[in-house]
Amino acid sequence: MTREIVVGAAQLGPIEKEHTRRDVVDRMLALLHRAHGMGCDLVVYPELALTSFFPRWYMEDQAEIDAYFEPAMPGNETQPLFDEAKRLGLGFSFGYAELAEADGETHRFNTSILVDKAGTIVGKYRKIHLPGHAENEPYREFQHLEKRYFEVGDLGFGVWPALGGNIGMCICNDRRWPETYRVMGLQNVEMVLCGYNTPVHNPPAPEMDNLSNFHNHLVMQSGAYQNGTWVIGVAKCGPEAGVPMIGQSAIIAPSGEIVAQATSLDDELIVAACDLDRCAPYKSTVFNFAAHRRPEHYGLIVERTGAEPPGSGG
Ligand code: CDT
């Protein structure tokens, strides 16, 4: 008997500034219903799924910034998604801007949650690798101000027992870093959920623009294979506020192979039956960490040479 999760990767097309949470949740519900019709157990939506990708705009007014954040989850606008998923018996995951209160202080994170089939939030992840910059850089056609609007996540890369497997989450830029997958791999992760908003154009390095799609799949396929895990990559894509963003949402097997891929730059559901038992052959042979991994022999460049690696200052 296989341990199978039928996953729907629910790619979203552009969300404009004037679109309300209700507009977006209606689109998410439409994808949820399609997923239910296709026998899904789990629906995965992108990073910052509820609004336009606001870090592209420089803002100083805290009230204007906070309008993009959710002080409660579920809140009034997202409750229908929780209710309908529970009624249909589907788990789901999506990203949002989280306004959190702790010890009398306000914190802002780029967050994703995992909700089980009973409608309970069973996992929360706060984005650790925040790309971009903190100050306005007028030379750019659009900004990438995640370092301005979010704190670095403080929850680590967790892995949760859910839907019959071990499920972890990461968010967008995290997928480019091998540590992301390895930290979860060391916790026996079997499925990594990753939403993203990736502009085609990277203003500081435009020579990489034509490789945006290639790099997207390169990192997720490598992370999957090197840790023997499924990876579900889900885009918010298309020309949002005039900024083209990549699509190519993908469901990637522990072999590193893409088993389903979106072909549009709009709302689109791709579905695959993900057998979690396909992880074991990788975890028990080529990537049997206990048998073959030798971290005690790797050494640290900084310790051996005393030199900082290039770029470490900036
Ligand atoms: N959302 C996000 O993390 N996007 C980044 C863009 C990098 S360019 C500053 C990404 O890695 O896709």
Q: Which pLDDT score, from 0 to 100, does residue 312 have?
A: 42
Tokens 């695959």 -> residue: 272
The confidence score (pLDDT) of residue 313 equals 36
172 is a catalytic site residue: yes
What three-state secondary structure class fits 98?
strand
Task: Determine the distance separating the centroid of ligand 1 and the alpha carbon of 62, expressed in angstroms.
Answer: 23
Which residue's C-alpha comes closest to atom 10 of ligand 1? 173
DSSP 73: S
Domains in the chain: ranges and CATH: 4-288 (3.60.110.10)
C-alpha 48: how far from its chain's center?
9
Distance between CA 38 and CA 11 in Å, rounded?
16
- How far is Cα 184 from Cα 196, in angstroms, rounded to an integer? 18
Report the atom number in ligand 1 closest to the C-alpha of 131.
Answer: 9
- Inter-residue contact 85 to 91 (CB < 8 Å): yes
pLDDT at 308: 57
**Is 141 known to be catalytic?**
no
197 lines ligand 1 (CB under 6 A): yes
> What are the angstrom distances between the C-alpha of 89 and each of 8, 9, 37, 165, 211?
14, 17, 12, 17, 39
Strands 42-44, 4-11: pairing kind: parallel
If residue 261 lies in a helix (H) or strand (E), which one and from where to where? strand 258-261
Rounded distance, CA 58 to CA 291, Å? 50
User: Which residue among the candidates 127, 240, 268, 279 is catalytic per the annotation?
Assistant: 127
Low-confidence ranges of the chain (pLDDT < 50): 312-314
Q: Please state the atom number of ligand 1 nearest to the C-alpha of residue 216.
A: 12
Residue 222 CB coordination number (10 Å): 17
d(CA 155, CA 24) in angstroms, rounded, equals: 27
**Beta strand 258-261 pairing with 250-252:** antiparallel
Residue 208: phi and psi, rounded to 5, are -90, -5
Task: Decide: pTM greater than 0.85.
Answer: yes
Distance, CA of 282 to chain centre: 23
* 98 is an active site residue: no
The DSSP annotation for 142-159 comes to: S---HHHH-PPPSS-S-E
Choice among 40, 170, 172, 274 that is catalytic:
172
Centre of ligand 1 from the C-alpha of residue 276, in Å: 29
Which of 140, 149, 152, 196 has most ligand 1 atoms within 8 Å of its beta carbon, as the pocket-test mutant?
A: 196
Q: What pLDDT is stored for residue 2 in this prediction?
A: 78
End-to-end CA distance of the chain: 51
Put residue 262 in one of left, alpha, beta given phi > 0 → left and psi -120 to 50 → alpha.
beta
CB proximity list for 244: less than 8 A, separation 6 or greater: 199, 200, 201, 238
162 close to 207: Cβ distance less than 8 angstroms:
no
Digit-coded pLDDT (tens) for 215-262: 999 999 999 999 999 999 999 999 999 999 999 999 999 999 999 999
Q: Is the peptide bond before 74 cis (omega within 30 degrees of 0)?
A: yes
